[in-house]
Structure 1
């Protein structure tokens, strides 16, 4: 009997940092602005045209004619323009199926600059040496990018293992390229690793039921209880960020109402965005490395079914009934948002499946207040954020509060309290037959 496992196609994205020249940066900016403008023109054409005249062929013909007649719109490659059309129609399909709202106008300040490269054969990716690679971008030329992951290019590329396309994305740190990669991998067998419960916290990001902890080596809170908003920055970067924020506040104070912001103020805001983006990049890198380590080691991972949106609601209250401890709750909300627990669970979900493991969710109420030794919830056992001391006279166990919660999470799973995935929080769908405000 053959022991070979069937292969399965896996599609994923890999983001790499581009190092373009100044001339190439200007060309990328022009293409991104043209793509955004094309979306807005297509949206106006679609909403103002009669319903019986709307069709994919008519929209394609209008785009082709516009690219020929408008010079600054013609800088966008034809394939990228077709990708904008495809994305726009897919946005309407998502709206009709109830998965998203109707597409709207893309304003320049609130839109991420991006350009799609739908065909992978146009990229012509080559590896220069260990750290750098070269990629061909239509109408821009050869651009160097940071090589941090082996890609199926050259002799390694075939029908099942190849780069199917890419997307240029600009953030505060500059231009990046996100490759769309398709590979054929052997279906993993069942993971034989142990079971573990994970409690997500603020003082300790991830606490495991077996006593292991995963922290990022930075103090999550200040001495006064105020959340450290910049814990992913080093002390020198924190001082720089504080100076930039003060400078921006001072320049904003002297700006008159209705007056446009100066270039100096815009430059200061750009520097603040760069530091914030650098901190987020470090946080995501830590999450990827930590979740990969957990997925390789454990066969079953159990987490809480947290409703994070409800957890970070403000405590201000109303004028008739004002809230209490508003400043403390605000600091806690910032700490919860910075930990990005939802993103950690998302990473664990697909990484556990990739390594043959499973991820389960259990109800969250009571896991941090119940003693993992005796199973009794006694008032006053959770005196502070870090320590749990059971007040049950017959128990008296004490230890780390996060570790206690992780043990309770694993115990709920072993007792059969795991939630069914299909019964989790799903996207609210519009009832069948009910159309959105803008009909087809």
Structure 2
């Protein structure tokens, strides 16, 4: 996956260079047909690489989730990222983070993951969860917090004062929403939620389980 990511980054850089060159030639009324033809080829190559990453990553996540089925009664919630690109425009947040969000084929990845999980019969236990406020509210007390850094969350509630990894916070909130939808909340306490650390996997994926059933 890392090698494919590097290949995409190189393509992005090459595409940006050609776009700049094409824009300059267009301004100077020079021929641009060859450049635009090259752009189409490079974009097509990038799409193929993004598909390859989604396929590899969904297979990795699927394998990990299925490895948990012997230990847990598994229910799966993943963040529904509709509209995330609109919230990642220039002037809003970290530049590097914005670029990553615009490159990420999260819709494709979600579809592949759902498809793979449907084979062993987990389609009815797979749910995409709206992410609104999950990254800014404290998973422990539901109070609005702040993120002094992209990867760090700090609760403003003086009686809570929880602080830590922002992905942990957002993922746990998604898990709680999934548990509510699947009507598992009567059996679950906040201490029973566990975060799945999936290395380079960017989606906030959680395992939600009822220990009374395991």
TM-score (norm 2): 0.64
> Relative to structure 1, is the Cα distance of residues 304 and 395 closer, same or farther in structure 2, using a 3 angstrom cutoff?
same
Give 1:339's match in structure 2, choosing from 100, 104, 118: 104
For residue 232 of structure 1, give the secondary structure of its aligned residue in structure 2: helix
Which is bigger in relative contact order (C-alpha 8 A, separation at least 6)?
2
Paired residues for 1:398-437 under 5 Å = 398-414=163-179, 416-418=180-182
For residue 153 of structure 2, give the secondary structure of its aligned residue in structure 1: strand
In terms of fraction of residues, the more strand-rich structure is: 1
CA distance in 1, matches of 2:15, 2:43: 9
Match status 1:284 vs 2:51: yes
1:377 maps to: 143
CA distance in 2, matches of 1:240, 1:295: 33
Deviation of residue 251 (structure 1)? 2.3
TM-score (norm 1): 0.34
Give the aligned length.
Answer: 171
Paired residues for 1:217-228 under 5 Å = none
Paired residues for 1:390-401 under 5 Å = 390-401=155-166
Deviation of residue 388 (structure 1)? 0.8
Query: Does the 8 Å contact 1:363/1:418 carry over to 2?
Result: no
For residue 56 of structure 2, give the secondary structure of its aligned residue in structure 1: helix
CA distance in 2, matches of 1:303, 1:267: 42
Query: Does the 8 Å contact 2:134/2:174 carry over to 1?
Result: yes
> Relative to structure 1, is the Cα distance of residues 369 and 289 closer, same or farther in structure 2, using a 3 angstrom cutoff?
same
In terms of fraction of residues, the more helix-rich structure is: 2
> Relative to structure 1, is the Cα distance of residues 270 and 304 closer, same or farther in structure 2, using a 3 angstrom cutoff?
same
1:249 maps to: 23
- Root-mean-square deviation (CA, aligned residues, Å) is 3.4
Task: Kindly name which structure, 1 or 2, has the bigger radius of gyration based on alpha carbons.
Answer: 1
> Relative to structure 1, is the Cα distance of residues 278 and 367 closer, same or farther in structure 2, using a 3 angstrom cutoff?
same
Paired residues for 1:100-139 under 5 Å = none
CA distance in 2, matches of 1:352, 1:277: 28
CA distance in 2, matches of 1:351, 1:290: 11
Structure 2 portions without partners, runs of 5+? 66-73, 184-214
CA distance in 1, matches of 2:35, 2:115: 39
Give 2:154's match in structure 1, choosing from 370, 389, 409: 389
CA distance in 2, matches of 1:295, 1:345: 11
> Relative to structure 1, is the Cα distance of residues 418 and 266 closer, same or farther in structure 2, using a 3 angstrom cutoff?
farther
2:131 maps to: 364
